[in-house]
């Protein structure tokens, strides 16, 4: 009920359609049970006495009732499906909007396939709550109530006889409900696992093939798919048992009605019309009972999916956007004051980090893999929040900035460039149509990418395909530079920005970097120390701590960590 109440909040915008659906549900519940009553009258009052005109009149009434019932059924089915699709559209949009605001920490620990399952499969299951579950379940229950009312009205003794097999049906339905619920839960889990595996391994297919793991991954997939198959077969098994059992119970009930009704006809306290109507009622009664079990389990699947969706919607892991400071003009001075940070509890990856970068200056971060360089960037842009200390921009804590205003002023170029399956233009402006083609071409010319873009079919309209598969590593990197520059940030972050390109492209980019850095605060992370010798300050990080700082000449003179790193790279280059 808690989940259904929550779902009702999404129904409110469509309340008129919902109340019309309720009306149709009640009308269908009444009209269906009326027909056997008219059949009884037709047999006893007209057929038995040879009244042809009366039989014609009641036949016309039955045809009208059937037509109305058919129209109402059509409207009910269409409206319930329509309502379901509009509601899941709203829920899916809200869920995706929620995911867009989740911090990177959440995506670090949550498989993408599971999130895809929540946003696609689980929400599709939820639609069945409206199209085949809740509304249809209510209609079935109402129909059962009205059938019982009419049956008791006609003959209470015959009603009790016809319902004598009902406890058997209730017991079998309850057992079926519990078993199928368990099976459906296993199916949902298996689908989630299958989605996660397929998504992850298709994304990482190059690694699978490079290390000749096709056979091993195939075996893993076969096992996961086998669990998926077993879960579905289990549900099929329960259906294959339940429906024949319910048919036998129904046949037994009809046999008892015929036996007791025939006896009543001999004793002249039961009419042939009543007996015919009761057989019709029993068929009408058992069909919704069987369907109720099925619809109830559809509802249960929807409730399980809804619970998973609402759990995700209720997660409080979002980076709080409580700041309201929107600078008219950002200068770009960056300060870290005694910053401590851990991705997991107290496993600190940054320990008491303090430094500052004046407006227009360049600071470089160097160190071994895992030293904490990229973590500093993630904290500056508030992809993660710090555990202790302060980060300030122009003397204002980053938490006080409105989040969009903060990130609009920090341009980031990452080592692993991600491009969407879209045009070059869309990958640069990211849907911000205020950034025109003139500005894109100006930035492209600055980084030396204009010529390669103009050689492509369609130029800016060229589709780079998924993750930029149709471009080289260097071309993808150049596009990421253009993307950073068109937003005109006051702070530039270059995270291994040239580590994946060849020497010629690197030289091209280095020239562009110098132009891009002019008048901006720049934070550069680089493995190639030759690219940062002109930085105003270099921080050497080791295991989350600053072990050395100064310019290139000062650090070389200290003959410490930096000197050692530089000499190692120099030997590699010479070798």
Confidence of residue 254 (pLDDT cuts 50, 70, 90): confident
* Nearest alpha carbon to residue 459 among 485, 441, 433: 441
d(CA 456, CA 464): 10
Confidence of residue 575 (pLDDT cuts 50, 70, 90): very low
Q: For the segment 281-290, what is each residue's pLDDT rounded down to a tens digit?
A: 777 777 777 6
Count other C-beta atoms under 10 Å from residue 317's C-beta. 12
For residues 152 and 103, the model is more confident at 152
- b/e per residue, 228-263, with b = 16+ CB within 10 A? beebbebbeebbeebeebbeebbeebbebbeebbee
Q: What is the mean pLDDT of residues 397-421?
A: 80
Query: In the chain, pLDDT over 70 holds for what percent of residues?
Result: 88
- Whether this prediction's pTM lies above 0.85 is answered by no
Would you call 296 helix, strand, or coil by DSSP?
A: helix
- Rounded to a whole number, what is the distance in angstroms from the first to the last CA of the chain? 72
Which residues, at least 6 apart from 282, have a Cβ–Cβ distance to it below 8 Å?
162, 250, 253, 254, 257
* Nearest alpha carbon to residue 528 among 494, 569, 476: 569
Confidence of residue 119 (pLDDT cuts 50, 70, 90): confident
d(CA 305, CA 123): 7
Which residues, at least 6 apart from 419, have a Cβ–Cβ distance to it below 8 Å?
427, 464, 467, 468, 471, 476, 479
Please answer whether residues 228 and 191 qualify as being in contact, where contact means their C-beta atoms are separated by less than 8 angstroms. yes
Give residue 434's pLDDT.
76
- Chain position carrying tokens 């899916």: 92
Which residues, at least 6 apart from 266, have a Cβ–Cβ distance to it below 8 Å?
none
Confidence of residue 172 (pLDDT cuts 50, 70, 90): confident
Q: What is the mean pLDDT of residues 63-89?
A: 85
513 token code pair: 């970097």
Angle between the N-to-C axes of helices 52-100 and 15-41, in degrees from 0 to 180, rounded to the nearest 10: 160
Give residue 374's pLDDT.
81
Surface-to-core class of residue 321, CB atoms within 10 Å of its CB (0-12 exposed, 13-18 middle, 19+ buried)? middle
For residues 223 and 158, the model is more confident at 223
Give residue 574's pLDDT.
41
Q: For the segment 518-538, what is each residue's pLDDT rounded down to a tens digit?
A: 778 888 887 777 677 778 888
331 token code pair: 């200068």
Confidence of residue 89 (pLDDT cuts 50, 70, 90): confident
Give residue 498's pLDDT.
58
Domains, the chain, with CATH or none: 2-313 (1.20.1560.10), 334-574 (3.40.50.300)
For residues 175 and 501, the model is more confident at 175
Give residue 559's pLDDT.
81
Q: Compute the mean pLDDT over every residue in the chain, rounded to the nearest whole number.
A: 78
Give the angle 536-540-545 at the CA atoms, nearest 5°. Answer: 130
Q: For the segment 416-452, what is each residue's pLDDT rounded down to a tens digit?
A: 777 777 787 887 777 777 777 788 887 777 777 777 7
For the chain, give percent helix, strand, coil, nearest 5.
70, 10, 20
Is the pLDDT at 293 greater than 70, yes or no?
Answer: no
Would you call 273 helix, strand, or coil by DSSP?
A: helix
**Range with the lowest mean pLDDT among 74-88, 114-128, 339-353, 549-563?**
114-128
Q: For the segment 199-251, what is each residue's pLDDT rounded down to a tens digit?
A: 777 767 766 776 577 787 788 888 888 888 888 888 788 777 877 887 788 77
Which residues, at least 6 apart from 408, have a Cβ–Cβ distance to it below 8 Å?
487, 489
Give residue 573's pLDDT.
46
Q: What is the mean pLDDT of residues 1-12?
A: 74
* The total number of residues written for the chain in this structure: 575
Count other C-beta atoms under 10 Å from residue 169's C-beta. 21
Please answer whether residues 122 and 5 qualify as being in contact, where contact means their C-beta atoms are separated by less than 8 angstroms. no
Q: For the segment 177-192, what is each residue's pLDDT rounded down to a tens digit?
A: 777 777 777 777 787 7
Please answer whether residues 373 and 367 qualify as being in contact, where contact means their C-beta atoms are separated by less than 8 angstroms. yes
- b/e per residue, 81-99, with b = 16+ CB within 10 A? bebbebbbeebbeebeebb
Is the pLDDT at 97 greater than 70, yes or no?
Answer: yes
Which residues, at least 6 apart from 354, have a Cβ–Cβ distance to it below 8 Å?
336, 337, 338, 339, 546
């Amino acid at each position: 009920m808690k989940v259904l109440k929550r779902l009702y909040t999404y129904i409110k915008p469509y309340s008129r359609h919902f109340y019309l659906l309720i009306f149709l549900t009640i009308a269908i519940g009444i009209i269906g049970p009326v027909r056997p009553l008219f059949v009884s009258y037709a047999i006893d009052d007209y057929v038995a006495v040879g009244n042809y005109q009366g039989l014609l009149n009641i036949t016309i009434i039955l045809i009208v009732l059937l037509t109305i019932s058919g129209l109402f059924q059509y409207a009910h089915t269409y409206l319930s499906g329509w309502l379901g699709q509009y509601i899941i559209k709203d829920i899916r949009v809200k869920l995706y909007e929620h995911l867009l605001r989740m911090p990177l920490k959440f995506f670090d620990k949550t498989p993408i396939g599971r999130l895809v399952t929540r946003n696609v499969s689980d929400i599709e299951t939820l639609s069945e709550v409206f199209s085949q579950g809740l509304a249809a379940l209510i209609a079935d229950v109402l129909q059962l109530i009205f059938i019982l009312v009419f049956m008791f009205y006609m003959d209470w003794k015959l009603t009790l006889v016809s319902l004598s097999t009902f406890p058997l049906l209730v017991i079998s339905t309850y057992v079926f409900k519990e078993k199928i619920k368990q099976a459906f839960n296993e199916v949902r889990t298996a689908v989630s696992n299958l989605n996660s595996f397929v998504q992850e391994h298709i994304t990482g297919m190059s690694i699978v093939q490079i290390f000749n793991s096709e056979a091993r991954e195939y075996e893993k997939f076969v096992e996961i798919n086998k669990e998926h198959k077993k879960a579905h077969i289990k549900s099929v098994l329960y259906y294959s048992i339940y429906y024949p059992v319910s048919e036998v119970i129904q046949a037994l009930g009809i046999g008892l009605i015929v036996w007791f009704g025939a006896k009543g006809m001999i004793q002249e306290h039961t009419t042939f019309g009543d007996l015919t109507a009761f057989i019709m009622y029993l068929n009408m009664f058992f069909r919704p009972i069987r369907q109720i079990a099925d619809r109830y389990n559809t509802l249960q699947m929807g409730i399980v999916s809804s619970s998973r969706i609402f759990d995700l919607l209720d997660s409080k892991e979002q980076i709080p956007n409580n700041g309201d400071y929107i600078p008219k003009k950002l200068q770009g001075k960056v300060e870290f004051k005694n910053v401590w940070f851990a991705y997991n509890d107290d496993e600190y990856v940054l320990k008491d980090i303090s430094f500052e970068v004046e407006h227009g200056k360049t600071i470089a971060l160097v160190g071994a893999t895992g030293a904490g360089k990229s973590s500093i960037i993630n904290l500056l842009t508030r992809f993660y929040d710090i555990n202790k200390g302060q980060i300030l921009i122009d003397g204002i804590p980053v938490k006080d900035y409105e989040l969009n205003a903060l990130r609009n002023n920090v341009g980031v170029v990452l080592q692993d460039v991600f491009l969407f399956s879209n045009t070059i233009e869309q990958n640069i402006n990211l849907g911000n149509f205020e950034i025109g083609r003139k500005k894109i071409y100006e930035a492209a010319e600055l980084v030396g990418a204009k010529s390669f873009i103009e050689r492509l079919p369609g130029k800016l309209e060229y589709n780079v395909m998924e993750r930029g598969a149709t471009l080289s590593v260097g071309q993808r990197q150049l596009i990421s530079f253009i993307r950073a520059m068109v937003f005109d940030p006051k702070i530039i972050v270059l995270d291994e920005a040239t580590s994946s390109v060849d020497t010629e492209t690197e030289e091209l980019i280095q020239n562009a970097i110098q132009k891009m850095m002019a008048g901006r605060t720049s934070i550069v992370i680089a493995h190639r120390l030759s690219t940062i010798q002109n930085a105003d300050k270099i921080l050497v990080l080791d295991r989350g701590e600053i072990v050395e700082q100064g310019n290139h000449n000062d650090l070389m003179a200290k003959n410490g960590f930096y000197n050692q790193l530089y000499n190692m790279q120099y030997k590699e280059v010479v070798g």
